[in-house]
Amino acid sequence: MDRFPPAEDGPRYEIQSVGRTLDDMEPNDEIVPRPGGVLKPLAWVALALLALMAFVGWLLIGPPLPH
């Protein structure tokens, strides 16, 4: 399975083994990139941050609550 025996003085060879295993993995052909790319999720994040900032601003600047 692995070319190197387990290290006696540390996990160096085990980490190299994990790295080689990850390098040998092929991507799954069933996973398809999103049609919108990165721009669509970034736009949703920007809209969510804008809405959050507007809500906090409304809380800070809005009229005081009646007692």
Name the residue range of residue 28's domain.
Answer: 12-61
pTM: 0.45
28 in a domain, yes or no? yes
CB atoms within 10 A of CB 40: 11
Report the domain count for the chain: 1
1 in a domain, yes or no? no
39 in a domain, yes or no? yes
Give backbone dihedrals phi and psi of 65, rounded to 5 degrees, phi first.
-75, 140
Give the span between the Cα atoms of 50 and 11, in whole angstroms. Answer: 47
Local confidence band at 3 (pLDDT 50, 70, 90 cut-offs):
low
67 in a domain, yes or no? no
pLDDT digits (tens, 9 = 90+) for 19-48: 777 777 776 667 666 676 788 889 999 999
